[in-house]
Amino acid sequence: MTKTSTDKSDITASVGVIEAFLEMLASERAAALRTRLAYRADLEDFACWVAPASIADAASSDLRAYVVAKGREGLSVRSQARRLSSLRQFYRFLLQDNYREDDPTEDHPIPGYRASLPHPLSEGEINTLLDKGTCGHDDPRRDYVSRAAIELLYTTGLRISELLSLPASCVQRQEEMLLVRGKGGRERLVPFAKGARQAAEALVRYDTILDSPWLFPGRNPQRPLTRQGFDKILHACALKAGFDPQRISPHVLRHSFATHLLNRGADLRALQMLLGHADIATTQIYTQVMGERLKEAVQKYHPLKE
């Protein structure tokens, strides 16, 4: 790993060493702002706990005591696992850049937990959301935005950050594949469905006067729509379609995309590539969804279920 511009002597204090780590995440891993903020929150919590000692000098016993204390405070196993994962990445950075000679997290396995199962919409509910949730808004432009966004999220499985960073030029290339820049700057190609392309093209034509480089412009056309702005649009779409807005989110649409593909026989490896998962283990959460449905089918239809 390339050394950051921060000298070893500059990171003896907790604030300095955390900033050095966050700088590395931004410059070398192209970590998103939300990711860096999550790391910062986890590291600063541990830094406060070990104070007045520096987080850079924490021992394995400090980690052990911290995890026990957080468990007693009621922190969930999942949150404990995330905190420990953040600390592991942090201390590996210190070890690799010779700021430390050991990794205090090495003997601390990340607590196991069962990932929560996705709650996808049914195929019929997706059709209802598209048919009723993307038309008749007070602002005609919102019809175009919501149609293009929901079509793209459901037919490509994009993350919301990937959707909002799409350039308007993506519809100018008459190709069947859409180039997407995902986490860590990794690029992948996903099929550009006909309906999604048509909706995106209609939006670009409507927005011609804005002269924006983004497929989904924000209030300032030279900047993309924010996540908060998009959430308001999706909330309105859910209400118009008759859904509880709590059930509809970009993450739910991504889960629906993945679940419906698997239900129709898609290969798990192909799904991994489409979703942009670096590790197949992340994609395997969807096998739990299928497993639950198979159990339900047996319990409902098997003649000896009782």
Among residues 82, 147, 159, 255, the one annotated as catalytic is 159
Question: Contact at 8 Å (CB) between 36 and 26?
Answer: yes
Which pLDDT tens digit goes with each residue over 55-87?
888 988 998 899 889 888 888 888 888 888 899
Active site residue 159: yes
Specify if 38 maps to a domain. yes
Cα 147 from Cα 154, distance rounded (Å)? 11
* pTM of this prediction exceeds 0.75: no
b (16+ CB within 10 A) / e for 205-241: eebeeeebebbbbeeeeeebbeeeebeebbebbbebb
Q: Among 108, 183, 235, 240, which one carries the catalytic annotation?
A: 183
Q: Is residue 178 part of a domain?
A: yes
**Local structure of 148: helix, strand or coil:** helix
Tell me whether residue 183 is one of the annotated catalytic residues.
yes
The proportion of the chain whose per-residue pLDDT surpasses 70, expressed as a percent, equals 87
Q: How many structural domains comprise the chain?
A: 2
Q: Is 137 a catalytic residue?
A: no
Q: Is 251 known to be catalytic?
A: yes
Residue 275 and residue 181 in one domain:
yes
Question: Could you tell me if residue 115 is inside a domain?
Answer: no
User: Could you tell me if 72 and 158 lie in one domain?
Assistant: no
The answer to whether residue 255 sits within a structural domain is yes
Catalytic residue among 34, 205, 251, 295: 251
User: Which domain CATH number covers 89?
Assistant: 1.10.150
Say whether 108 is catalytic: no
Q: Has 286 been annotated as catalytic? A: yes
- In tens, the pLDDT along 166-219 reads 999 999 877 789 999 887 778 899 999 999 999 999 999 999 999 999 999 999
